[in-house]
Structure 1
Amino acid sequence: MLRSILASLVLVTPLVGQEPTPKAERRSFSHREHGEARQDDYSWLKQRDDPAVRKYLVAENSYTGAYFKPLKPLYTTLLKELRSRVVDEDVSVPVQRGAYLYYEKYVAGSEYETLCRKKVADGVEEIMLDFNQRAKGHQVFLGGGASVSPDDRLLAWKENHDGTDVYTLHFLELATGKLLPDEVQGTAFHMGPVWGNDNRTLFYTTPDDTQRSYRVMRHVLGTAAKADVVVYEEADRQFDVRISPTKDRKYLMIESGSTNTTETRVVPLDRPGEPAVVLIPRKAGIRHNVAHREGRWYSVSNLGGTNGCLLTAVDADGKLGDWEELWPYEEKLALQWVDAFASHIVVGARNQGVPGVFLLDPETKDKVKDHRWVPAPVEGGSLDSDDTPDYHATAQRVMYTSYVTPFTVADLNLADGTMKVLKQKKVPSGFDPAKYVVEKVEAKAADGVVVPVWLVRRKDLPLDGSAGLVLDGYGSYGSCSDPWFDAGALSLLDRGVTVATAQVRGGGEFGRTWYEAGRVLKKEVTFTDYIACAKRLVELKYTSPSSLCAYGASAGGLIMGYVMNQAPELFRAVVADVPFVDALNTQFDPSIPLVTGEYEEWGNPEDRAVFDVMRRYVPYENVKPQVFPSLYVTTGWNDPRVAYWEPAKWVAKIRAVHQGKNPVLLETNFDAGHGGATGRYAQLEDVARRYAFILRELGKEN
């Protein structure tokens, strides 16, 4: 029955064992680049408005649904387990801004948060905005960017109803709960908006036709959005723009950046109508992350070395003096960002792979008197800064977690580096960390570089190769894949499945040097690192090829596609969420979102050297007849970051040449974008299906 459903579509590549549909009806497309021809039999799937495309994806959903139908009891059990670990009534740790404490809360049964505040003086709660009310009538709801005016009277926020990266900006009068008539459509998803200190001017960014954030706009309350003024427009399509206020609220910072280069402009927030002035001009290959304090600028920059040094310069009303080296370059230290309080400088860093922060106490002449290193308080975990808007605060708000440490919010004392835990996430159904063990394994890459793998497993699991294991991989954009606590993963751990994370090159775990070693012409290293990690886990008998599952999402999908092609025998199953698997065709098309801005990440294949490298590793290009592991792929119809057709084309091509009987599944969410379902309970359904697939393929569905 399932095969007849798919075979009845004239444009569908049938299931294994059937002849392909007539080529004339497949509408194949031949590419010719650098004098070489490339055949793309599934390019027709890009035709979003063609009814046959949606019909094909619906049929794929039916096929996938039939796979999951006998797993309904397992799915139901998993969903119940996942649901039992959600804190129904939850409140975030309040953050002080002026006279108010701001926080978010979930009420029982609600999918989305409610934005609240209370006065420090009396503690009476005030409901600012209930996103659940805003989400009514919408299948998809994304709300964020909430920003309260400096005088505490007005709330600005952004929301989206289709899963894309384009939002509408709204305004609310908090005292009355009245929506203001001002409404700005077509804003970018990046952080912001930012209020001017006059409480009536607001800055935001807008996207171009590829959803690149390229304009900074100024809106004055009470005026029509069409009258909004362009503050800055970025013409270089490899750059995008982001905005933020300095902590002391002296300046709006406009950062125009590419992967390799940044440029900073400023507007005085006391005079928000003034034009933006260049603070740090762009210089190819030079990056700055800046903060402002007491008449000086501070920058974590690569001027002194790849992994960053700390610089300072005098601020003369938005004009920059000469940079002075405040903290010289040290190869083992990867400085990542800087924040400035009235009394201290905070620098986020990786110290030989360990995440943490340095606390610096400047003297009156701004020479560093000392610096204190505060690492993540849990081994094999993460430490990140949290919102701390008060310039005169004596503590930096931080978050940390590990495989066995639920998300913890703490205040880090700026003077002595001590931490005061404010809240740790609860697991209502119970959680005993003593049942599990966290370990670090070191794999040796093909070039001899040591690549870390962190894993968590049940203590009583025998190390005889029999255990199932899910290996996560990402390794792009310099992002750090630090282990984190996932209450949902207990459903795997308690069934004897180990969870692991490979910290492959292309990520940022050891700073910019680790990232540089796995991008553009060196990108294939990311994938071979992952394979080396998988082989090491098998060698040490944490698992075996018959029990090893690969998982990757978005850019991590490149890893999934690579191992499907190059090492299919090493994995029992692969899960690829919204995978970036048709990168070569995508990077040839600058009209697609993100492409031009990522030439410095993947490369521009118009360059022959880049073309040759990408053609060698891109998953879609390298699918060949062989036996593939079981595969479960998800995509979103409205995904602007990895278009739905990339996973769809990939699955179709694999199924056409698959020589085994392992299932190849594609599931399209027609109401979602890159992040899938948006509600906190709805997201659990996605997780339950993923886990049901993994457990079924590992033979643990009962």
Structure 2
Amino acid sequence: MQKLRPLYIALLSAALLQACSPANQNTDTSSSTSKQGVEAPVAEKVPHEMTIHGDTRIDNYYWMRDDERKDPKVLAYLEAENAYTDEMLAHTEDLQQKLFEEMKSRIAKDDNSVPVRDGDYYYSTEMRGDNEYPIYVRSTDFSGTNKQILLNVNELAEGKDYYSVGSLEVSPDDAILAYSEDTVSRRMYEIKLKNMKTGELLPDQIKNTSGDIVWGNDGQHFYYIKKDPETLLGYQVYRHKVGTEQQQDELVYEEQDTTFYTGIRKSKDDSKIYIIHDATESKGVSLIDANDPNAKPVEFVPREDGLEYSIAKHGDDYYVLTNLDAVNFRLMRVSADKLGDKQHWQEVIPHKEDTRLEDIELFDQHLVYKQRQRGLTEVFVRNLNTGDEQELSFRDKAYTLYFYGNKEADNPELRLYYTSMTTPGSHYNVDLNSLDKTLLKQQPVLGDFKPENYASERLFVTARDGAEVPVTLVYRKDKFKKDGANPLYQYGYGSYGSTSEPSFSSNRLSLLDRGFVFAIAHIRGSQMLGRTWYEDGKKLSKKNTFNDFVDVTKSLVEQGYGAEDKVFAMGGSAGGLLMGAVINQAPELYLGVAAHVPFVDVVTTMLDESIPLTTNEFDEWGNPKEKVYYDYMLSYSPYDQISAQDYPNLLVTTGLFDSQVQYFEPAKWVAKLRDYKTDDNLLLFKTEMEAGHGGVSGRFKRLQNTALEYAFFLDLLKNQ
């Protein structure tokens, strides 16, 4: 869309207000003028009453909700906001382009993933030139002999505004490739089948799925999860026979409890298919015999409220990672012939009060497990025959490590991914006996990047209630003095037990090289300090998350890590909720804030079970149909707690087709902020009209959004 000049913006806004005005409503025709003298869009107020527990709330912008994404009045408002944002940031276009080219120049255009063995083949992806999407390939050995292209995503995405491959699975007999695609960004995937010999598509088309695909061992059946088109909840597991219509598919399992997500995957030995039942506070598994095309699911053990477990099959045993009498989890083992009763579980790794057991990987002769002690990751390798253990060691104190690609139990090596705030993503094979590490690849960072130019710190900040909050920092050594002069960029999330890991970002170099200190506040609501750290940041303790973030900001400034008038903050999704709560509580601390796809209308959304994924959130936030949760959520909900005060400069982004946080939440939030805020700071709102929760698709296109955010912050800094 061409940039709209000020006059056209004003006309479009006025037309919008007129179009949105019902004959029996009063129209708010007030204007909002920015520092640059450009009129900001002002949304009409159409009072909408909502009453529960004897309390009535008035939502003046409820009209912005359009589940079909087709209402011309709503679309016009979003376009007007986009035009306003373009106009207000027009003077930063050169800077945005410079940042974009900077970040792009650090990325190797030709870049391959490290091949992963699965059966007789090694699977990997290739990026070429200016391509936005990967090419999926496989070879008969690690070096790439007899390479075969499975899927060229660039060809599939051609002519589409958005394109994403969910999963890609080859049938056990290598005859058929099944893959899932989303062309809207609502995470509703269609599964397609491709003949591996001819490359032709089969007539089978499976719609409205989660994207997950698991083949039965006969190569003629596969399993998938169907989603509810309204709530977007995956709740039905179907078995599809190749060559038949979707209407003929067999319903294998249906989840009756809408607080549970449903997933599917296969055991490492390919003998079982796991149906995963996943709620916030309860997790379980049902098993399907992968060798029987008529098999019915069998519960591993009966589901219980508060019981969480995941399983890994190993020969005739199952290993069970569980919170049974273990808040930070422990590892158990049970024989395959004694399923259904957890009394048969035998302890393998005991519970530790100060250490969370996070993940395991099993091989024929070895058990590898990852745990976190006082926020720092530890990895151990145990010989299953002797019981001897060894600990893996790494250079960095604070780092991120994931197991991946360990699909074969007979592999003598562990595959892992390693990174830190100063170490680019690195792929290793680790000898399970000697623990010798072989570096297979380190993500290339083109240009003049040298790790030794940067330093990372891990420290603890004392929050207002005495809790010790971990913080990870990174900065460029020659740009930093602990004198309170540097700009500070602080990131946080703090929900769902999701831990913000200390990892490398080549994009971030554009800030560090300009003197920024980058900080991750590992606030409550994550599991950085174990399960209790999560429990203390959810439901009726949620405000600890917001308080921690604010207290970290204050402490970092007091300690000289950042200048008090040069502090920026960013969060997305539930981290956007964090941003909204923080600027209501302590707006004076921040020069600029970016809130991406922010979950800000907490009470209204959680009261409406027709909104996608709401029912799965009750164990995270509480159910506001219960007054105790309603009152507490209302007391921090960013949308409801907007007040007449000064707010920082704000950049808010969303995607029209967001399936996680609906676009109308940030849209309403921005409209209400415009009405209430008493400052003349920037309030900019950008909607990607063809994107969803994850933003635009494509590896380079995504950089444009990062460049926009960085330019917004840098421009504010320049004007200080």
CA pair 199-509 structure 1, distance change in 2 beyond 3 A? same
Amino acid at match of 2:651: Y
For residues 345 and 42 of structure 2, what CA distance do their matches in structure 1 show?
66
Where does residue 64 of structure 1 map in the other structure? Answer: 85
- The corresponding residue for 2:23 is none
Residue equivalent to 1:476: 495
Single out whichever of 147-156 and 536-545 deviates more from structure 2. 147-156
Aligned AA (1:358): F
Structural mapping, 1:146-185, within 5 Å: 146-185=168-207
Q: Distance in 1 between matches of 2:350 and 2:617?
A: 30
Maintained 8 Å contact 2:301/2:339: no
Which residue matches 1:222? 243
| Aligned amino acid, residue 16 of structure 1 | S
Q: What residue is the counterpart of 1:86 in the other structure? A: 107
1:197 aligns with 2:231: no
Asked if 1:6 corresponds to 2:13, the answer is yes
Q: 1:413 and 1:13, CA in 2 relative to 1: closer, same or farther beyond 3 A?
A: farther
Q: Quick one: distance in 1 between partners of 2:268 and 2:555?
A: 46
Q: Are the counterparts in 2 of residues 356 and 383 from structure 1 also a CA contact under 8 Å?
A: no
For the pair 1:643 / 2:650, whether they are aligned, the reply is no
Cα shift at 1:479: 0.9
Mark the CA change 1:151 to 1:415 in structure 2 (over 3 Å): closer, same or farther.
Answer: farther
Task: Quote how far apart the aligned CAs of 1:319 are.
Answer: 5.8
| Corresponding pairs, count | 694
Which amino acid counterpart does residue 225 of structure 2 have in structure 1?
A: T
Matches within 5 A, 1:231-242: 231-242=252-263
Q: Which residue of 1 aligns with 2:707?
A: 688
Q: Whole-Å Cα distance in 1 between the matches of residues 263 and 659 of structure 2? A: 18
Q: d(CA) in 2 for partners of 1:86 and 1:290?
A: 38
Does structure 1 residue 423 correspond to structure 2 residue 430?
Answer: no
Deviations 1:498-518, CA, capped at 9 Å, x for gaps: 211100010111221211111
Counterpart code for 1:176:
T
Q: Which residue number corresponds to residue 25 of structure 2?
A: none
Distance 1:76 1:14 in 2: 35
Summarize the Cα distance change of 1:6–1:290 in structure 2 as closer, same or farther, 3 Å threshold: same
Q: Deviations over 1:122-171 (max 9, x none)?
A: 81211111000110111000113111222233211111001101000111
> In the aligned structure 2, how far is the partner of 1:609 from the partner of 1:442?
33
Aligned residue number for residue 608 of structure 1? 627
Kept in 1, the 8 Å contact 2:182–2:189? The answer is yes
Q: Give secondary structure in 2 for the equivalent of 1:304.
A: coil
Of 505, 514, 522, the match for 1:486:
505
1:508 counterpart (527, 539, 555): 527
Residue 390 of structure 1 and its aligned partner are, at CA, apart by: 1.1
Residue in structure 2 matched with residue 275 of structure 1 by the alignment: 296
**Structure 1 residue 582, shift from structure 2 partner:** 0.7
Q: Structure 1: which amino acid aligns with 2:160?
A: H
Could you say which residue in structure 2 is the equivalent of 1:592? Answer: 611
CA contact (8 A) 2:599 2:665 kept: yes
36 and 176 in structure 1: CA distance in 2 versus 1, 3 angstrom threshold: same
One-letter amino acid matched to 1:443: V
- Cα distance, 1:224–1:630 mapped onto 2, change above 3 Å: same
Displacement after TM superposition at 1:8 (Å): 4.4
Which residue among 28, 46, 51 is the counterpart of 2:72? 51
Q: Aligned ranges for residues 228-627 of structure 1 at < 5 Å?
A: 228-316=249-337, 322-363=344-385, 369-374=387-392, 377-460=395-478, 461-627=480-646
CA distance in structure 1 between the aligned counterparts of 2:510 and 2:485, rounded to whole angstroms = 18
SS in 1 for 2:619: coil
What is the rounded CA distance, in whole Å, between the counterparts of 2:233 and 2:55 in structure 1? 31
Which stretch shifts more, 43-52 or 328-337?
43-52
Q: Does 1:143 align with 2:165?
A: yes
| Cα distance in 2, alignment partners of residues 497 and 476 from structure 1 | 26
Whole-Å separation in 2 of the counterparts to 1:347 and 1:172: 38
* 1:608-630 Cα deviation digits (max 9, x unpaired): 11111111111001000111100
Helix, strand or coil for the counterpart of 2:388? strand
Structure 2 SS opposite 1:168: strand
User: Normalized against structure 1, the TM-score is what?
Assistant: 0.96
2:32 equivalent in structure 1: 16
Q: Higher mean Cα deviation, 454-463 or 650-659? A: 454-463
Measured after TM superposition, the shift of residue 263 of structure 1 is: 2.4
What is the aligned counterpart of 1:26 among 39, 45, 53? 45
Are residue 106 (structure 1) and residue 127 (structure 2) matched? Answer: yes
Question: Quick one: distance in 2 between partners of 1:361 and 1:250?
Answer: 24
Give, in whole Å, the separation in 2 of the partners of 1:241 and 1:602.
20
Q: 1:679 to 1:15 in 2, by over 3 A?
A: farther
Moved more, 145-154 or 9-18: 9-18
Q: Tell me if the contact between 1:555 and 1:579 (Cα under 8 Å) persists in the aligned partners.
A: yes
What RMSD over aligned residues (CA atoms) do the two structures have, in Å?
2.0
For the structure 1 residues 270 and 319, does the alpha-carbon distance in structure 2 shift closer, same or farther, using more than 3 Å as the test?
farther
**Matching residue within 145, 150, 160 for 1:128:** 150
Q: 1:416 to 1:83 in 2, by over 3 A?
A: same
Task: Quote the Cα distance in structure 1 between the aligned partners of 2:127 and 2:111.
Answer: 5
CA displacement, residues 23-58 of structure 1 (integer Å, 9 cap, x when unaligned): 9x6222111111011111111111344311111110
Q: How high is the sequence identity, in percent, across the aligned residues?
A: 37
SS of corresponding position for 1:545 = coil
Task: Specify the code of the residue in structure 2 equivalent to 1:641.
Answer: Q
Confirm or deny: 8 A CA contact 1:634 1:668 kept in the other structure.
yes
| Superposed CA offset, 1:265-284 (max 9, x none) | 10111113211111121011
Q: Cα deviation per residue 1:507-530 (whole Å; 9 max; x = unaligned)?
A: 111221211111111111111010
Higher mean Cα deviation, 538-547 or 470-479? 538-547
CA distance in 1 between counterparts of 2:356 and 2:604 reads 34
Aligned match for 1:667, one of 686, 704, 707: 686
CA distance in 2, matches of 1:27, 1:134: 43
Are the equivalent residues in 2 in contact too, given 1:357–1:374 (CA < 8 A)?
Answer: yes
- Taking the aligned partners of 1:355 and 1:150, their CA distance within structure 2 comes to 36
Per-residue CA deviations over 1:526-585 (Å, capped at 9, x if unaligned) read 110101111111101111231000100111011100111110000000001101111111
Please say if 1:212 is aligned against 2:230: no
CA distance in 2, matches of 1:520, 1:389: 37
Aligned to 2:96: 75
Within 1, Cα distance between the matches of 2:31 and 2:188? 37
Does the 8 A contact of 2:240 with 2:249 survive in 1? yes
Instruction: Name the amino acid aligned to 1:86.
Output: I
| CA distance in 2 between partners of 1:196 and 1:407 (Å) | 34
1:453 maps to amino acid: V
1:474–1:552 CA contact under 8 A, matched in 2:
yes
Q: Is the deviation greater in 371-380 or in 689-698?
A: 371-380
Once the two structures are TM-superposed, the CA of residue 13 in structure 1 deviates from its matched residue by: 7.4
The superposition leaves residues 471-501 of structure 1 with CA deviations (integer Å, 9 ceiling, x where unpaired) of 0000111111112111111111111112111
